[in-house]
Structure 1
Amino acid sequence: MFDLVLRNARLPEQGRGSFDIGVVDGVIAAIGRDLGPARRSETAGDRLVLPGFVDSHIHLDKSCILDRCSADGALGEAIAEVSRLKRDFSEDDVHARAERTLVKAILQGTMRIRTHVEIDPRIGLRSFQALRRLKRDYAWAVDLELCVFPQEGLFNDPGAEALLFAACEAGADAIGGCPYTDTDPEGHVDRIFAIAREFDLDIDFHLDFDLDPGWMHLDAVIAATERTGWGGRVAVGHVTKLSAIPPVTLTAIGQKLAAAGIAVTVLPATDLYLMGRKHEHSVPRGVAPAHRLAELGVTCSLATNNVLNPFTPFGDGSLNRIANLYANVAQLGRRADMLCCLDMVTGSAARLMRCTDYGIAVGNAADMVVMDATDPAHAVAEIAQPLMGFKRGVKTFEREAGRLIRPQAASPRRSAKTPVVTEVVGNHR
């Protein structure tokens, strides 16, 4: 007998019509029509079911600090403002703010997250310790991966490397870097690779976060990846410089990234907000073309980055909204484009994080989201809402679909004998 059967689910990859998904011990055990009895049954109501969303790049530790900030949107000012504030962050403060954002993400159907955690002499290990607690507290709803990194550099920030080592020894899941804030960017890249190899960790850099294509730290990351054989375990985020180069150059770089096994995360909300601020007109978007890189074989994701802080003073944790935002920015409108955007917050993001048990398929973790839609491309185009979620087969959230309630008073043209109908309208078809 199944522990759970989610009935009447739209699974476009399985064919037309609705299917049942049977779960045993938190794993998808069967997909088919009219599956047998179960200890618990739920219905998707003939709506689309997706694997849980995957956020490959978010900063939970510095979320929800907008009311404490005065920065006006410049990248340097945002870094300086957070640097000032985090000196006074307590472990409980970080936990409470991060929890507020994490709950929003869970309610939006996100079930796997890589959160970047700042480690330096100003914050010490307080944020790391707070997020370790949060990881334990919400393991029932989300897999939280902690990627420690020195936001303000290594060689120019005495004490940062020792703290980074301490976090890795304490169980960090990945390590990141931020060479554009260091006085020795290439040395920074090499040192992060060395630490990653010592602790056998994946790497995720913040990289090339401006619009000057005349130089790139990406070259150093590609060289280090090839030299160390770390292909498939390296990601770079932002790379907004890639939005400022011609197609032929982008193709050449994309081919190098694919060959080296380096993934790319684009962060539309932050990159749009921070880039191009010196332009008084014809303001560039500053968002790297992830879909074009994906066409070249690069593993690409779209992610949240920041929520309610000076880097991004908005956000609700919805990766489907981020996918839709990217489609707007990149001027994508074809069905295949929408599916690509959806993949970059689901399957492709899972590949970036090397999740081996991801997707609606027999043998994978039963991480499932019921969307208020019947078609995956329309789900992105309409920013469909998640209505219900299951983490390893356990229900973690639900919300009702919107209902339009028409007036019941009879209109002048309606006969007194005509029955009054209250129409219920949802996004499902």
Structure 2
Amino acid sequence: MPPETGLRIPQDNRFVLSNARVPTELVADPPPGATRDAEGALLLDLLVQNGRIAALFPAGMAPETACRVDLEGRHLWPAFIDMHTHLDCGHAIPRVRPDGTIHGGFSLTAEDWPRWTDEDLDLRMEFGIRCAHAHGVSALRSHVDSETLAYSQRHWRALDRLRAKWAGKVDLQGVTICAMEAWIGPEARALADLAADMGGILGGVTDTLDRGENGTYDALGQALDRLFALAGERELDVDLHVDQTEDLSAFTIPEIAKARLRSGFKGRVVLGHCVNLSLMPPEVIDRTLALAREADLAFVSMPTPMMYLMDRKPGRTPRWRGVTTANEIRAAGLPLAIGGDNCRDAWFAYGDHDMLDTLKQAIRVFQADEPLTGSLAMASRVPADLIGRPDLGRIGADLPANLVIFQARSLNVILARDQADRIVLKNGRQVTDPLPQHHELEAALGLLDTAS
């Protein structure tokens, strides 16, 4: 059932959402004459027609020829984009009991792999998609576990099944995740071909390779060169897991930037995590971001799981926040998105694929609220561009009417309260699907007897 908010979204093919309050940074082309509130949000009318936004008008100026829904100053945002998830790992609790460490994430996931049948993957992955859909996410990029070609084939097939099933509601994109050694191994070409055939892109984990005896990342350089070559041949983008620990010796952003520059690779390169950058001296941070800018790199941060994992020591409170240098990245003019990352699996025990919650966490932990300018786009406009979907993550004429309407009349209230009564529209139609129930998933997976 939809939330009880006093609003009724018509089933008509043409209607107006009037007196909406929309953050300026989320509007593609503001109409002339629109006024702004004290927080800088635009006051707008939206004409929705055949599932798309036909036009934007200053508040109160839309034509009277269509049914009107007066939002009375409620905030209206584009649907969210989550560009960094792990659907195939997710929702394995209670059969997986995370210990809160990176090493535990690796080992417990590997122990769980034999249970990842087609049915198991479909049930757990679709549970995550259903959560995201109900919370107002319109696109997900999921990293597809590909430690072997056989595993990769099974996981890609699962994503492909769900992509077809959820088309038009939640767009799914996949990216290969494997140790970087795989890209200089015998299955490298087959892994790349599989990702290309499945409409995905290439990735890997750069901090799995140790430095050589001479202190250089020779093996990583070779793997990156091969990865960029394979991606370039297939015209695929690259999305990497980078520097996910506090180990300052495992610092690979400069190596990636140099490899991208020497390869001449033309696609988009996104670096995820990059947490130990925040532990580097200021001059190293500045030098690294200058190199990243020269190499045209983009970044995505996953604040919630990283705060959970980083600097975890038994009996001791963490001494650092576990996130990358978000404000410095943005000040350097580099794109920065946020992602939900792992959800209820061996890596992170919590989460619900709610990108509003992720955005709130990011704003607080980055201290990105004074001012908020540019911060809201981290969960919508920026990731939409990075996944190659400039039609999503913003509000504008002739764009899909994928929208989230909040009860809140101010940004402060959006960030202060959970907004569980939000209204979600996909292609102009109100989403009435409820959030899925965890006990139902556990029953389907045969896990109820193991639940605590």
- Superposed pair shares fold, TM > 0.5: yes
2:380 paired residue number: 346
SS of corresponding position for 2:374: helix
Structure 1 stretch displaced more, 282-291 or 374-383: 374-383
CA drift at 1:155: 5.9
What does residue range 13-412 of structure 1 map to in structure 2 within 5 Å?
13=24, 14-16=34-36, 18-32=43-57, 33-36=60-63, 42-121=69-148, 123-151=151-179, 153-154=181-182, 160-182=187-209, 184-230=219-265, 233-278=268-313, 280=316, 283-334=319-370, 336-337=371-372, 339-358=373-392, 359-385=394-420, 387-397=422-432
CA drift at 1:289: 2.2
SS of corresponding position for 1:154: helix
CA drift at 1:277: 2.1
SS of corresponding position for 1:193: helix
CA drift at 1:288: 0.6
1:419 paired residue number: none
Percent identity between the aligned chains? 25
CA drift at 1:217: 1.6
CA drift at 1:281: 5.0
CA contact under 8 A between 1:357 and 1:365: conserved in structure 2? yes
What does residue range 410-421 of structure 1 map to in structure 2 within 5 Å?
none
Cα 1:39/1:332, change in 2 over 3 Å:
closer
CA drift at 1:375: 2.6
Letter matched to residue 315 of structure 1: G
| Structure 2 Cα separation of the partners of residues 143 and 15 of structure 1 | 33
| Structure 2 Cα separation of the partners of residues 152 and 224 of structure 1 | 14
Where in structure 2 are there 5+ consecutive unaligned residues? 1-11, 25-33, 38-42, 211-218, 435-452
| Structure 2 Cα separation of the partners of residues 40 and 126 of structure 1 | 48
Kindly provide the CA deviation profile for residues 391-429 of structure 1, in whole angstroms up to 9, marking residues without a partner as x. Answer: 232333488xxxxxxxxxxxxxxxxxxxxxxxxxxxxxx
Root-mean-square deviation over aligned CA pairs: 2.6
Cα 1:301/1:12, change in 2 over 3 Å:
closer
SS of corresponding position for 1:372: coil
| Structure 2 Cα separation of the partners of residues 37 and 258 of structure 1 | 48
CA drift at 1:69: 1.9
| Structure 2 Cα separation of the partners of residues 62 and 215 of structure 1 | 25
Letter matched to residue 36 of structure 1: P
SS of corresponding position for 1:133: helix
Letter matched to residue 293 of structure 1: I
Letter matched to residue 22 of structure 1: L
- TM-score for both structures, normalised by structure 2: 0.80
Cα 1:127/1:42, change in 2 over 3 Å:
farther
| Structure 2 Cα separation of the partners of residues 162 and 199 of structure 1 | 11
- TM-score for both structures, normalised by structure 1: 0.84
CA drift at 1:282: 5.3
CA drift at 1:60: 0.6
SS of corresponding position for 1:87: helix
CA drift at 1:38: 6.6
Kindly provide the CA deviation profile for residues 250-305 of structure 1, in whole angstroms up to 9, marking residues without a partner as x. Answer: 22222222232111111111111111124845522221121221111010011100
SS of corresponding position for 1:79: helix
Kindly provide the CA deviation profile for residues 29-65 of structure 1, in whole angstroms up to 9, marking residues without a partner as x. Answer: 1112343367765553431111111111001111001
Cα 1:22/1:163, change in 2 over 3 Å:
same
| Structure 2 Cα separation of the partners of residues 324 and 50 of structure 1 | 15
Cα 1:330/1:106, change in 2 over 3 Å:
same
Letter matched to residue 249 of structure 1: V
1:10 paired residue number: 21
| Structure 2 Cα separation of the partners of residues 181 and 202 of structure 1 | 21
Cα 1:9/1:398, change in 2 over 3 Å:
farther
Kindly provide the CA deviation profile for residues 346-365 of structure 1, in whole angstroms up to 9, marking residues without a partner as x. Answer: 12222222322231111322
Where in structure 1 are there 5+ consecutive unaligned residues? 400-429
SS of corresponding position for 1:63: coil
Letter matched to residue 353 of structure 1: I
| Structure 1 Cα separation of the partners of residues 301 and 252 of structure 2 | 16
